[in-house]
Amino acid sequence: MPVFSVVVPAYNAASTLRETIEAVLAQEFQDWELIVVDDGSTDDTLRIAEGYASRDPRVRVLTQENRGSAGAYNTGAATAIGDLITICSADDLLLPDHLREMDALIHACSGYDIYSSNGYYLRENGSQSLVYDSDEWSSERSLDLASVIDCCFFSVGATYRRDLFRTTGGYREGIYGEDYDFWLRAMATGARHRYTPRALAVHRVSSTQKSAARVRVYESDIRTIRELAKDGLLSNAELSPRPPTARRLRQLRLNERQSPTPRPRAPQEPAG
| Ramachandran assignment for 94, one of left (phi > 0), alpha (psi -120 to 50 degrees), beta (any other) | beta
**Pairing status of strand 193-205 against strand 93-94:** antiparallel
Each residue's pLDDT tens digit, 24-70: 999 999 999 999 999 999 999 999 999 999 999 999 999 999 999 99
Predicted confidence band at 165 (pLDDT cuts at 50, 70, 90)?
A: very high
Helix 68-79 and helix 178-188, axial crossing angle in degrees, nearest 10: 60
What is the predicted pLDDT for the residue at 237? 60
Please say whether the beta carbons of 41 and 10 come within 8 A. Answer: yes
At 213 the pLDDT is: 58
For the chain, the maximum distance between any two Cα atoms, rounded to a whole number of angstroms, is: 55
Confidence of residue 81 (pLDDT cuts 50, 70, 90): very high
SS3 string of the chain?
CCCEEEEEEECCCCCCHHHHHHHHHCCCCCCEEEEEEEECCCCCHHHHHHHHHHHCCCEEEEEECCCHHHHHHHHHHHHCCCCEEEECCCCCEECCCHHHHHHHHHHHCCCCCEEEEEEEEEECCCCEEECCCCHHHCCCECCCHHHHHHCCCCCCCCEEEHHHHHHHCCCCCCCCCHHHHHHHHHHHCCCCEEEEEEEEEEEEECCCCHHHCHHHHHHHHHHHHHHHHHCCCCCHHHHCCCCHHHHHHHHHHHHHHHCCCCCCCCCCCCCC
Whole-angstrom Cα distance, residue 41 to residue 35? 16
Question: Which of 75-79, 96-100, 147-151 has the weakest average pLDDT?
Answer: 147-151
For the question of whether the overall pTM of this predicted structure is more than 0.85, the answer is: no
**What does the pLDDT look like over 171-218, one tens digit per residue?**
999 887 889 899 999 999 999 999 999 999 999 987 655 544 567 767
pLDDT, tens digit (0-9, with 9 covering 90-100), for 206-249: 765 554 456 776 777 777 777 777 777 776 666 554 455 555 44
Strand partners, 117: 196
